Amino acid sequence: MASDPTRQRLHALVLGRVQRVCYRSFVLDEARQLGLSGSVRNLPDGRVEVIAEGPQPALRSLVARLRTGPRDALVAAVGEDWQEPTGTHTGFRIES
């Protein structure tokens, strides 16, 4: 079965003041509004990792929102790695 060319997987690493500012909750809400599946988690080095799958336009909207973040966040950079979707996630969740 051929993969859906409109669906993609985004692996994003967010750098800046993005921990202890409700950034993961922000990502959870935004991803769910966009109908994406995946997860978000804090990394030990202070970055936030986002893995999301869905239609490319929705993923691009998520990237724009990642760059802004919630009110108390200060996003310095968002690294993007675009991949083929794996379909391993159902829904969107915060991982510890």
Sheet architecture: strand order including 7-17? 74-83, 7-17, 48-55, 37-42, 92-94
Say which of 7, 17, 41, 42 is annotated catalytic.
Answer: 42
What DSSP letter does each residue of 17-28 carry, written as one string? E-SSSSHHHHHH
Given a contact cutoff of 8 angstroms between Cβ atoms, the answer to whether 7 and 67 are in contact is no
* Residue 7 is a catalytic residue: no
Structure token digits, residue 34: 């966009």
* Residue 24 is a catalytic residue: yes
Say which of 9, 24, 47, 65 is annotated catalytic.
Answer: 24
Write out the catalytic residue numbers: 24, 42
